[in-house]
């Protein structure tokens, strides 16, 4: 496997998601994909001159250019980060890389959900890492390739054995407290200004600084709603997994000093998940950082649950941590819909209470709403529209995203639509049936069988078709109606100088 010149050439790509801009997240391509930088860092630190690594983010590099990079760089191993919506582009890249004689490996959420099916159906994919902390398995794979060790020892790896049988090695849980690779930004130094400038064009008006250099960081994962999880939440693992707070501040300090990073987006699934971690960050914050925060030279952004913000004096603590923007899944203005979305005791009142507190703390909000929860009606959509119109007077929104519900794998509504015989997030089929009936919906068995036949044991899904099936069978509204409502409310949001975008579909 060793190359003659230099080391083993490894190309890591975040699959592009080349969809109509109106279906893009309002934060799309404003931050580097930190997962692949983390993987590259770990490999470079360990294998040094034995590897030559290149990173390409499909958020800022179009598909055609990615193909040219493959032709020029001639990777021996191409690693692609795939999400369900970006999988189709990942496949195109994978097949192109294979034609260029590269081994191909997939990682990230979509790969984690379907390792065996992907290898069965896509002969041009060689490996899959089915672990959401991917550094150690990726290191073990490269070690096995370079040093000709057996693949059977590589943790969480799906591969074909010598006889062509598909194998999936058992996964391990990696604790960030033990090791959390600090991404080496020199690997993407040349493109950092691209993200910063794009970010500034979109959100510059919300900052006092003359420029923004933005990065995502990830020193804690998980969500306090993890055991129940929201109906559309497709995150692989929601258990709380936190890293060392002292090392976190060291990273912030070095990124700020070396690369001028002044906006840090901690992408923890919900920053209100661990009060202990928040306190440990406050207690370990170095004085020089707290001064920079006070002066507005360093800012943070996080995701959080509205209910969590109402507890434990969290808003005050977040303010002291320099958090200037919070992404909240507000989801609906109708409490019944919030229940249907499994928001676990969140109501439209608790959402408004959280917005008030954030307003007082001068923290802006990126709010997301979804039209099309189980049992959604025209009336409940109207409540949400009214709620959005009311909410914009309550707090400063950086963006409001109103999205269609997209049934992604590994979430409760996927159970409802596809895996109803063996659900992951409901006790059994009967529990699904009662949840559906509570929203005045009945699913005929032949429809369910049809949906199961269409979507189970597949790896590639047509988003628009899935949404159509969801709306038709699980809500009281049709897809076109929803799309028109979104168009209208988006116009209203934009006319108030607030960005719009899409969170899920």
Which residues make up the interface to ligand SF4 (CB under 6 A)? 223, 225, 229-230, 233, 235, 238, 269-270, 305, 329
Q: Compute the least distance from the CB of residue 333 to ligand SF4, in Å.
A: 17
Residues 90-119 that bind ligand B12 (CB under 6 A): 105, 107-110
* 86/500 with CB nearer ligand B12: 86
* 15/272 with CB nearer ligand SF4: 272
Q: Compute the least distance from the CB of residue 5 to ligand SF4, in Å.
A: 45
d(CA 61, CA 11): 14
d(CA 290, CA 252): 11
H/E stretch holding 175 reads none
Assess 223 for contact with ligand B12 (CB under 6 A): no
Q: Exposed, middle or buried: residue 168 (CB in 10 Å: 0-12, 13-18, 19+)?
A: middle
* 180/352 with CB nearer ligand B12: 180
What's the Cα-to-Cα distance from 189 to each of 37, 202, 253, 257, rounded to whole Å? 11, 21, 16, 13
Q: Compute the least distance from the CB of residue 180 to ligand B12, in Å.
A: 9
* 292/305 with CB nearer ligand SF4: 305
* 24/377 with CB nearer ligand B12: 24
Binder of ligand B12 out of 66, 115, 122, 135 (CB under 6 A): 135
Place of tokens 């058992």: 170
Binder of ligand B12 out of 7, 8, 10, 27 (CB under 6 A): 27
d(CA 324, CA 362): 7
Residue 329 touches which of ligand B12, ligand SF4, none (Cβ within 5-8 Å per kind): ligand SF4
d(CA 408, CA 461): 9
Binder of ligand B12 out of 69, 83, 88, 168 (CB under 6 A): 83
Q: Would you say how long the chain is, in residues?
A: 505
What is residue 150's three-state secondary structure?
A: coil
Q: Compute the least distance from the CB of residue 404 to ligand SF4, in Å.
A: 16
Q: Compute the least distance from the CB of residue 374 to ligand SF4, in Å.
A: 15
User: What is the sign, positive or negative, of the torsion defined by CA atoms of 223, 228, 234, 235?
Assistant: positive
d(CA 65, CA 104): 18
Assess 218 for contact with ligand B12 (CB under 6 A): yes
* 114/271 with CB nearer ligand SF4: 271
Q: Are 298 and 322 a contacting pair, CB within 8 Å?
A: yes
The window from 74-82, 185-193, 471-479, 491-499 that contacts ligand B12 (CB under 6 A) reads 74-82
Assess 270 for contact with ligand B12 (CB under 6 A): no
Q: Are 405 and 370 a contacting pair, CB within 8 Å?
A: yes
What is residue 40's three-state secondary structure?
A: helix
Count of residues interacting with ligand B12 (CB under 6 A): 45
H/E stretch holding 370 reads strand 364-371
d(CA 176, CA 478): 44
Residue numbers at the binding site for ligand B12 (CB under 6 A): 14, 17, 24-25, 27-28, 31-36, 38-39, 59, 79-81, 83-86, 105, 107-110, 129, 132-135, 138, 216, 218, 221, 233-235, 267, 269, 408-409, 502, 504
């Amino acid at each position: 496997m060793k190359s003659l010149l230099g080391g083993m050439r490894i190309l890591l790509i975040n699959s592009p998601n080349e969809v109509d801009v109106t279906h893009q997240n309002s934060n799309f391509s404003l931050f580097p994909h930190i997962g692949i930088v983390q993987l590259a860092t770990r490999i470079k630190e360990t294998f040094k001159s034995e590897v030559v690594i290149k990173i390409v983010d499909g958020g800022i590099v179009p598909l055609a250019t990615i193909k040219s990079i493959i032709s020029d760089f001639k990777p021996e191993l191409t690693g692609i980060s795939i999400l369900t919506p970006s999988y189709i582009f990942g496949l195109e890249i994978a097949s192109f890389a294979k034609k260029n004689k590269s081994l191909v490996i997939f990682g990230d959420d979509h790969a984690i959900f379907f390792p065996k099916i992907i290898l069965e159906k896509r002969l041009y994919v060689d490996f899959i890492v089915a672990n959401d902390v991917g550094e150690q398995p990726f290191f073990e794979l490269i070690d096995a390739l370079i040093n000709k060790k057996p693949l059977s020892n590589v943790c969480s790896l799906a591969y074909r054995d010598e006889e062509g049988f598909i194998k999936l090695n058992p996964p391990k849980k990696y604790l960030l407290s033990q090791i959390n690779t600090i991404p080496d930004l020199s690997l993407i130094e040349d493109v950092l200004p691209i993200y910063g400038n794009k970010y500034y064009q979109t959100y510059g008006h919300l900052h006092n600084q003359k420029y923004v250099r933005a990065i995502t960081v990830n020193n804690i994962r998980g969500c306090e709603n993890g055991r129940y999880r929201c109906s559309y939440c497709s995150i692989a693992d929601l258990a709380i997994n936190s890293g060392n707070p002292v090392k976190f501040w060291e990273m912030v300090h070095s990124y700020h000093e070396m690369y001028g990073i002044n906006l840090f987006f901690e992408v923890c699934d919900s920053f209100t998940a661990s009060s202990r971690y928040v306190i440990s960050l406050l207690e370990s914050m170095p004085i020089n950082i707290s001064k920079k925060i006070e002066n507005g030279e360093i800012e943070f952004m996080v995701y959080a649950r509205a209910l969590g913000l109402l507890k434990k004096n969290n808003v005050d603590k977040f303010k002291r941590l320099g958090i200037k923007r919070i992404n909240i899944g507000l989801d609906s203005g109708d409490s019944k819909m919030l229940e249907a979305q499994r928001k676990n005791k969140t109501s439209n009142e608790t959402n408004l209470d959280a917005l008030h507190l954030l307003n007082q703390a001068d923290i802006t909000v990126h709010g997301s709403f979804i039209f099309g929860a189980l049992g959604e009606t025209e009336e409940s959509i109207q409540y949400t529209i009214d709620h959005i119109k009311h909410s914009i007077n309550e707090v400063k929104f950086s963006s409001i995203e109103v999205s269609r519900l997209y049934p992604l794998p590994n979430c409760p509504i996927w159970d409802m639509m596809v895996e109803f015989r063996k659900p992951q997030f409901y006790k059994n089929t009967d529990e699904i049936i009662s949840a559906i009936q509570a929203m005045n919906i009945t699913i005929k068995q032949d429809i369910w069988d049809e949906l199961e036949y269409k979507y189970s044991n597949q790896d590639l899904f047509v988003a628009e078709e899935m949404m159509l099936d969801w709306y038709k069978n699980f809500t009281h509204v049709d897809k076109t109606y929803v799309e028109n409502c979104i168009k209208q409310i988006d116009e209203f949001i934009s006319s108030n100088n607030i960005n719009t975008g899409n969170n899920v579909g």
